[in-house]
Amino acid sequence: MKNIFHKLTIVALVVISVSCKDDFDDDIVKDSIPTTPILFTGAYSVGFYPYYTVPYNGATSPITITLEIPASSPRTFKSIDRMIAGTTSILPSTVAAATPANYFPPISASGKTVVINTTIGEFNTKVTGTTVIPATWVSTAAGAVPASPPTFVKNYHERAFMFRVILDDDSIIIPEQLRIRVSY
Protein backbone atom coordinates (compact mmCIF):
# COMPACT_ATOMS: atom_id res chain seq x y z
CA MET A 1 0.00 0.00 0.00
CA LYS A 2 2.82 2.37 0.96
CA ASN A 3 4.69 1.47 -2.21
CA ILE A 4 1.64 2.25 -4.40
CA PHE A 5 1.19 5.64 -2.67
CA HIS A 6 4.84 6.57 -3.38
CA LYS A 7 4.55 5.56 -7.02
CA LEU A 8 1.31 7.56 -7.46
CA THR A 9 2.92 10.58 -5.80
CA ILE A 10 5.90 10.43 -8.17
CA VAL A 11 3.62 10.08 -11.20
CA ALA A 12 1.50 13.03 -10.01
CA LEU A 13 4.60 15.22 -9.53
CA VAL A 14 5.89 14.35 -13.00
CA VAL A 15 2.51 15.12 -14.58
CA ILE A 16 2.24 18.45 -12.71
CA SER A 17 5.77 19.55 -13.60
CA VAL A 18 5.27 18.77 -17.29
CA SER A 19 1.80 20.28 -17.54
CA CYS A 20 2.75 23.74 -16.20
CA LYS A 21 3.48 26.43 -18.73
CA ASP A 22 6.89 28.09 -18.20
CA ASP A 23 5.79 31.67 -18.92
CA PHE A 24 2.62 32.96 -17.34
CA ASP A 25 1.34 35.85 -19.48
CA ASP A 26 -1.94 36.78 -17.87
CA ASP A 27 -2.91 40.41 -17.14
CA ILE A 28 -2.93 39.76 -13.42
CA VAL A 29 0.84 39.35 -13.24
CA LYS A 30 2.09 42.13 -15.47
CA ASP A 31 2.89 45.72 -14.58
CA SER A 32 0.47 48.34 -15.79
CA ILE A 33 3.00 50.74 -17.25
CA PRO A 34 1.62 53.19 -19.82
CA THR A 35 3.44 53.52 -23.13
CA THR A 36 3.45 57.28 -22.60
CA PRO A 37 4.75 58.30 -19.18
CA ILE A 38 3.39 61.38 -17.43
CA LEU A 39 6.07 63.25 -15.46
CA PHE A 40 5.63 65.84 -12.73
CA THR A 41 8.25 68.44 -13.60
CA GLY A 42 10.06 69.89 -10.60
CA ALA A 43 8.74 67.27 -8.18
CA TYR A 44 10.96 65.44 -5.72
CA SER A 45 10.85 61.82 -4.70
CA VAL A 46 12.34 60.33 -1.56
CA GLY A 47 10.05 57.32 -1.51
CA PHE A 48 7.62 56.04 -4.07
CA TYR A 49 5.47 59.07 -4.91
CA PRO A 50 6.65 62.38 -6.38
CA TYR A 51 5.87 65.46 -4.29
CA TYR A 52 6.02 69.24 -4.35
CA THR A 53 6.95 71.15 -1.21
CA VAL A 54 4.57 74.06 -0.58
CA PRO A 55 5.45 76.57 2.18
CA TYR A 56 2.36 77.58 4.18
CA ASN A 57 1.87 81.36 3.99
CA GLY A 58 -1.88 81.46 4.52
CA ALA A 59 -4.78 80.51 2.29
CA THR A 60 -3.23 82.21 -0.73
CA SER A 61 -0.18 79.91 -0.72
CA PRO A 62 0.15 78.78 -4.35
CA ILE A 63 0.23 75.15 -5.45
CA THR A 64 1.64 74.72 -8.95
CA ILE A 65 1.52 71.30 -10.60
CA THR A 66 3.29 70.69 -13.92
CA LEU A 67 2.45 67.55 -15.91
CA GLU A 68 4.75 66.76 -18.81
CA ILE A 69 5.06 64.17 -21.55
CA PRO A 70 8.69 63.46 -22.55
CA ALA A 71 9.84 65.11 -25.78
CA SER A 72 10.69 61.71 -27.24
CA SER A 73 7.04 60.62 -27.12
CA PRO A 74 4.84 61.15 -30.18
CA ARG A 75 1.80 61.79 -27.94
CA THR A 76 0.48 65.14 -26.65
CA PHE A 77 -2.14 66.12 -24.09
CA LYS A 78 -5.78 66.41 -25.13
CA SER A 79 -7.31 67.07 -21.70
CA ILE A 80 -7.11 66.50 -17.98
CA ASP A 81 -10.49 64.85 -17.70
CA ARG A 82 -10.60 64.36 -13.94
CA MET A 83 -8.57 65.66 -11.00
CA ILE A 84 -9.25 64.66 -7.42
CA ALA A 85 -7.64 65.79 -4.20
CA GLY A 86 -7.56 64.34 -0.73
CA THR A 87 -5.44 62.55 1.80
CA THR A 88 -2.68 60.23 0.69
CA SER A 89 -5.11 57.31 0.75
CA ILE A 90 -6.70 58.17 -2.63
CA LEU A 91 -6.27 55.43 -5.23
CA PRO A 92 -6.49 55.11 -9.03
CA SER A 93 -9.92 53.50 -8.55
CA THR A 94 -11.02 56.72 -6.82
CA VAL A 95 -10.24 58.68 -9.99
CA ALA A 96 -12.53 56.41 -12.00
CA ALA A 97 -15.39 56.63 -9.47
CA ALA A 98 -18.15 59.27 -9.52
CA THR A 99 -17.20 60.51 -6.05
CA PRO A 100 -15.41 62.50 -4.79
CA ALA A 101 -16.31 65.48 -6.93
CA ASN A 102 -13.90 66.64 -9.61
CA TYR A 103 -11.47 69.23 -8.19
CA PHE A 104 -11.61 71.27 -11.42
CA PRO A 105 -13.86 70.99 -14.45
CA PRO A 106 -12.09 69.11 -17.27
CA ILE A 107 -9.12 71.09 -18.57
CA SER A 108 -8.53 71.22 -22.33
CA ALA A 109 -4.86 70.92 -23.12
CA SER A 110 -2.47 70.62 -26.01
CA GLY A 111 1.24 70.18 -26.36
CA LYS A 112 3.48 68.25 -24.02
CA THR A 113 3.11 70.34 -20.85
CA VAL A 114 0.12 71.26 -18.68
CA VAL A 115 0.43 73.61 -15.70
CA ILE A 116 -2.30 73.57 -13.05
CA ASN A 117 -2.45 76.36 -10.48
CA THR A 118 -4.46 76.30 -7.27
CA THR A 119 -4.03 77.55 -3.70
CA ILE A 120 -4.22 76.06 -0.23
CA GLY A 121 -7.41 78.06 0.35
CA GLU A 122 -9.02 76.62 -2.78
CA PHE A 123 -7.87 73.13 -1.77
CA ASN A 124 -9.54 73.59 1.63
CA THR A 125 -12.85 74.69 0.05
CA LYS A 126 -12.96 71.64 -2.24
CA VAL A 127 -12.18 68.93 0.34
CA THR A 128 -13.80 68.11 3.67
CA GLY A 129 -13.08 66.84 7.17
CA THR A 130 -9.55 65.83 8.08
CA THR A 131 -8.40 66.41 4.51
CA VAL A 132 -8.38 70.18 5.05
CA ILE A 133 -4.87 71.61 5.47
CA PRO A 134 -4.70 73.29 8.91
CA ALA A 135 -3.28 76.79 9.34
CA THR A 136 -0.70 75.55 11.83
CA TRP A 137 1.18 72.31 12.18
CA VAL A 138 -0.95 69.92 14.23
CA SER A 139 0.68 66.60 15.10
CA THR A 140 -2.70 64.84 15.37
CA ALA A 141 -4.01 66.02 11.97
CA ALA A 142 -4.29 63.59 9.06
CA GLY A 143 -1.03 63.46 7.13
CA ALA A 144 0.98 65.21 9.87
CA VAL A 145 4.63 64.18 9.75
CA PRO A 146 7.26 65.53 12.13
CA ALA A 147 10.64 66.55 10.82
CA SER A 148 12.37 63.34 11.87
CA PRO A 149 13.71 62.01 8.56
CA PRO A 150 17.10 63.59 7.90
CA THR A 151 16.04 64.88 4.47
CA PHE A 152 13.30 67.13 5.87
CA VAL A 153 13.98 70.18 7.99
CA LYS A 154 10.40 71.20 8.79
CA ASN A 155 7.15 69.69 9.97
CA TYR A 156 4.64 69.18 7.19
CA HIS A 157 1.17 67.96 6.28
CA GLU A 158 0.93 65.77 3.23
CA ARG A 159 -2.01 65.72 0.81
CA ALA A 160 -2.45 64.12 -2.61
CA PHE A 161 -3.77 64.70 -6.11
CA MET A 162 -4.62 62.18 -8.80
CA PHE A 163 -5.42 62.82 -12.46
CA ARG A 164 -7.12 61.15 -15.38
CA VAL A 165 -5.29 62.26 -18.50
CA ILE A 166 -6.56 61.88 -22.05
CA LEU A 167 -3.95 61.97 -24.79
CA ASP A 168 -4.33 63.07 -28.41
CA ASP A 169 -4.96 59.47 -29.51
CA ASP A 170 -7.82 59.24 -26.93
CA SER A 171 -5.86 56.85 -24.73
CA ILE A 172 -6.49 57.30 -21.02
CA ILE A 173 -3.69 57.38 -18.45
CA ILE A 174 -4.00 57.66 -14.69
CA PRO A 175 -0.52 58.70 -13.54
CA GLU A 176 0.85 57.86 -10.12
CA GLN A 177 -0.38 59.80 -7.13
CA LEU A 178 1.18 63.25 -6.73
CA ARG A 179 1.65 64.56 -3.22
CA ILE A 180 2.09 68.02 -1.82
CA ARG A 181 3.95 68.59 1.42
CA VAL A 182 2.77 71.74 3.11
CA SER A 183 5.63 72.87 5.36
CA TYR A 184 5.33 75.22 8.34
Number of independent structural domains in the chain: 1
- Is pLDDT of 35 > 80? yes
What CATH number does residue 147 fall under? 2.20.130
Question: CA-CA distance, 160 to 112, in Å (whole number)?
Answer: 23
151 domain residue, yes or no: yes
- Is pLDDT of 51 > 70? yes
115 domain residue, yes or no: yes
Most confident range (mean pLDDT) of 4-18, 31-45, 118-132, 156-170 is: 156-170
Q: What does each C-alpha distance from 131 to 1, 83, 128 come to in angstroms?
A: 67, 16, 6
**Would you state the pLDDT for residue 123?**
94
Give residue-wise pLDDT tens across range 75-103: 999 999 999 999 888 888 888 887 778 89
List the domain range (segments joined by +) for residue 155: 32-183
List CB contacts of 66: < 8 A, sequence separation 6 or more.
Answer: 40, 41, 42, 113, 114, 115, 116
Whole-angstrom Cα Rg for the chain: 23
17 domain residue, yes or no: no
**Would you state the pLDDT for residue 150?**
44
156 domain residue, yes or no: yes
10 domain residue, yes or no: no
